[in-house]
Amino acid sequence: MTTQPTQTDGPLSSMLVLDLSHALAGPHAAMMLGDLGARVIKVEAPQGDETRGWGPPFVVPPVVGASPESTYFLACNRNKKSVVADLQSREGKELVERLIRRADVLVENFRPGVLDRLGFGPERLKELNPLLVVLSISGYGHEGPDDDRPGYDQIAQGEGGLMSLTGESGRPTKTGVPIADLLAGVFGVCAVLAALIERRSTGHGQTVRTSLLSALVGVHSFQGTGWTVAGQLPQATGNHHPSVAPYGLYHCADGDLQIAVGSQNLWRALAEVTGLNADDPRYLTNADRVRNRDELERDLTALFSRESAQTWLERLSAAGIPAGRIRTLDEVYSCEQTRRPGLTVEVEHATLGCITLPGTPWRFDERPEPLHTPPPILGQHDFVVRAWLDLLDEPVRFAEEEGPATETAGL
């Protein structure tokens, strides 16, 4: 039914995921499920997911007349098939209803209440498919005074406290990637997998909810308990750890390096390598070193600045002290350690040809390397998906002529 390659069977190869989401948090979650082998059908509005227009950078295909592709869209939509449907129209709603009846998982990140107004509220979804697991991602949660606010990553980073912990003190700084969106997607997938397991015993699906705000609160970690338990308000400490010292970035004669001295033995090893006095009362314990961090940074910077970063990295490595350089992304993707575990994948895009994408961060010992499919162009699989649904609506003929092992066969 299609000339596109299909994924290698994965742990979720019997699952069908309906991706009604847009932008990043929901699409990232659906992509992760696709990476695990699920068949993912992405339903896009006639104008397409808004990230198709987020750029630059855009890549202009060599195919005459083909639309430029946004690298933002390419980042979160591999292993999916794209169909176009206007959810405001009768035809669009009918298509989505047919897909819901067949799906195991539905991913959506509309503002709370929007799906209800489109005619797909919780009761309707249960009526269409009692086994359906719904992942609903919002900006600030599905209840409370801010439940109807739209969610945007940087705003959530600010209101979720992350920017107050990042960068230099007094200068709130966002992270370099949309971490609230990405974490919401990751946490959402964790909950979906748990709901699918629970479905085996309960015999019914359920809705699991997360949000950009809850994802950020979920990773406050020791910074959160610093306030909730100890009553100490954490502050940004730049490129240095707030609770361990020395642990951070230092300038050398020709560049920067980072060290992580997380134990007293490592402190004594560092003191020996650098010539510092390990028993200096200012630096005797980790608590002492954190209290006197500014002085310790000055002392270490004065020492590190005398020689090159590479020289220090060799010395620190020989002494067993964790250390590393600062790499740009071009260096990361050309690094053999990044390429060897398959952290990048090559796919054959419909208009761009062979492209390289960031890969999956896991491997299964008992499964072969997964085969990935490229992010789709808008509406690329309209015919394939509709034809597949038509076949499923004729079960006798479908069984006789096609004989699929699962309902996702043919996708």
Confidence band for 407, pLDDT divided at 50, 70 and 90: low
pLDDT tens, residue by residue, 362-391: 989 888 888 899 999 999 999 999 999 999
Distances (CA, A) of 75 to 32, 177, 191, 261: 12, 12, 22, 35
**CA-based nearest residue to 241, from 184, 194, 290, 285:** 290
Terminal alpha carbon distance of the chain: 8
**CATH class assigned to 16-219+336-401:** alpha beta
CATH superfamily of the domain spanning 247-328: formyl-coa transferase, domain 3 (3.30.1540.10)
**CA-based nearest residue to 238, from 141, 159, 332, 166:** 166
Q: What is the pLDDT of residue 410?
A: 64
Q: What is the pLDDT of residue 66?
A: 87
Confidence band for 16, pLDDT divided at 50, 70 and 90: very high
Q: What is the pLDDT of residue 169?
A: 86
Q: Residue 91: which residues within 8 A CB-CB, separation 6 or more? A: 85
Average pLDDT over residues 298-326: 97
Q: Cα(47)–Cα(53) distance, rounded to whole angstroms?
A: 10
Strand partners, 210: 137
Which part of the chain has CATH 3.40.50.10540? 16-219+336-401
pLDDT tens, residue by residue, 267-282: 999 999 999 999 999 9
Q: Cα(195)–Cα(401) distance, rounded to whole angstroms?
A: 34
Average pLDDT over residues 202-211: 97
Is residue 181's pLDDT more than 60? Answer: yes
pLDDT tens, residue by residue, 209-223: 999 999 999 999 999
Which part of the chain has CATH 3.30.1540.10? 247-328
Report the largest interatomic distance among the alpha carbons of the chain, rounded to a whole angstrom: 83
Q: Residue 328: which residues within 8 A CB-CB, separation 6 or more? A: none
Catalytic member of 19, 104, 153, 181: 181
Q: Are 246 and 259 in contact (CB under 8 A)?
A: yes
Q: Cα(61)–Cα(69) distance, rounded to whole angstroms?
A: 7
* Annotation says 181 is catalytic: yes
| Average pLDDT, rounded, for the chain | 92
Cβ-count burial 174-185 (b if 16+ within 10 Å, e if not): beeebbbbbbbb
Query: Encoding tokens for residue 297?
Result: 């940074």
Helix axes 309-318, 264-274, angle to 10 degrees: 130
Q: Are 29 and 18 in contact (CB under 8 A)?
A: no
Q: Are 243 and 171 in contact (CB under 8 A)?
A: no
Query: How many CB atoms are located within 10 Å of the residue 153 CB?
Result: 24
Distances (CA, A) of 355 to 61, 75, 79, 134, 207: 11, 11, 14, 32, 36
Query: Encoding tokens for residue 85?
Result: 């449907």
Residue 327 φ/ψ, nearest 5 degrees: -110, 145
pLDDT tens, residue by residue, 58-93: 999 998 888 999 999 999 999 999 999 999 999 999
Is residue 399's pLDDT more than 80? Answer: no
Average pLDDT over residues 164-192: 96
Element (H, E) at 275: none
Confidence band for 396, pLDDT divided at 50, 70 and 90: very low
Any alpha helices (H) in 81-178, and if so which ranges?
Answer: 90-102, 114-117, 122-128, 153-159, 162-165
Q: Are 297 and 240 in contact (CB under 8 A)?
A: yes
**CA-based nearest residue to 182, from 376, 31, 18, 355:** 31
